[in-house]
Amino acid sequence: MTKRAPQPCCLGHTPSPSPAPRPPAAATASPSRRARPGRPRLTPEELRDRLADYCTRYSLALNDDGLPPFPAGQRETVQHREWMSLYKAHRRLSTRGPDAADLERRQELLSAQHARCVVCRKPLDLEDARADGQAADAAVLHARCLELVALARALGPEALERARSRI
Ligand SMILES: [Zn+2]
C-alpha cells in the first residue's frame, strides 16, 4: 500500500455542494391547466370552508379582500402559519382567473352564437366574451357592446330612441 494518493485536505478538495438546479416552486408556478399529481386542485368551495373554519376558531370576520385580517404580532405561531396558508391559497385561486364553470358556460353560449357577438355581430373569441345574464336569453358580448346594452338599460328605451335620432 502506497500513500501516493493525495489526502483530501479539508478546504481544497471537498467539492463545494452546489445546489441542485430546481425551479423555485412558488415563484414560477403558473396557473397551468395540467393537474399536478400529489396536489389536489383547490376549489373555491374548499377555500371558503377553510376560511370559515379559521374565522370561527379565531372569532374573526373576512375583510373586503375576502381574507381574515393579518394576525399582526402573531409571528411564528400556528395562527400565523394558517393565515399564510390561506393567503397563498386565496392568491392561487384569484390568479387562476374565472372559474372553470363560468368559462364553460361562456364557451357554450359562444358556440351557440357561432362565435359572434349578439350586438355588433362581429367575431368574438372566448377571451373577450362577456356574459350578459340579465336578459331573458343569456348571451356573450364584447365588453364594449355589453356596456352599450347596460347603458341603454339604465337610460331606458326613450333615451335610446333619442340617441338613435342622433346617429
Ligand atoms: Zn360586439
What's the pTM? Answer: 0.43
Q: Are 60 and 48 in contact (CB under 8 A)?
A: no
Residues 109 and 141 in one domain: yes
In a domain, 113, yes or no: yes
Residues 113 and 141 in one domain: yes
Residue 26's pLDDT band (cuts 50, 70, 90): very low
Query: Which pLDDT value is given to residue 130?
Result: 93
Domain coverage including residue 131: 102-166
pLDDT digits (tens, 9 = 90+) for 46-61: 899 999 999 999 999 9
Beta bridge partners of 116: 123
123: DSSP letter = B
Q: Which positions ≥6 away from 149 have C-beta within 8 Å?
A: 119, 132, 141
Using CA atoms, how far apart are residues 49 and 52, in angstroms rounded to an integer? Answer: 5
In a domain, 27, yes or no: no
Quick check: helix, strand or coil at residue 131?
Answer: strand
166 C-alpha to ligand 1 centroid (Å): 20
109 C-alpha to ligand 1 centroid (Å): 14
Using the predicted structure, report yes or no on whether residue 10 has a pLDDT greater than 60. no
Using the predicted structure, report yes or no on whether residue 89 has a pLDDT greater than 70. yes
Query: Which pLDDT value is given to residue 19?
Result: 54
Q: Average the pLDDT over 83-112 and give the result.
A: 85
Burial of 83 (0-12, 13-18, 19+ CB in 10 A): buried
Q: Among 20-29, 42-51, 91-100, 134-143, where is mean pLDDT lowest?
A: 20-29
In a domain, 49, yes or no: yes
Residues 114 and 88 in one domain: no
107 C-alpha to ligand 1 centroid (Å): 16
Q: Are 90 and 98 in contact (CB under 8 A)?
A: no
132 C-alpha to ligand 1 centroid (Å): 12
In a domain, 17, yes or no: no
Q: What is the CATH number of the domain that holds 138?
A: 3.40.1800.10
Quick check: helix, strand or coil at residue 144?
Answer: helix
Residue 121's pLDDT band (cuts 50, 70, 90): very high
In a domain, 159, yes or no: yes
Which residue would you say has higher pLDDT here, 31 or 158? 158
Query: Which pLDDT value is given to residue 30?
Result: 47
In a domain, 79, yes or no: yes
Using CA atoms, how far apart are residues 132 and 153, in angstroms rounded to an integer? Answer: 12
Residue 4's pLDDT band (cuts 50, 70, 90): low
Tell me how many domains the chain contains: 2
- Environment of ion ligand 1 (residues, CB < 5 A): 117, 119-120, 142, 145
Beta bridge partners of 141: 130
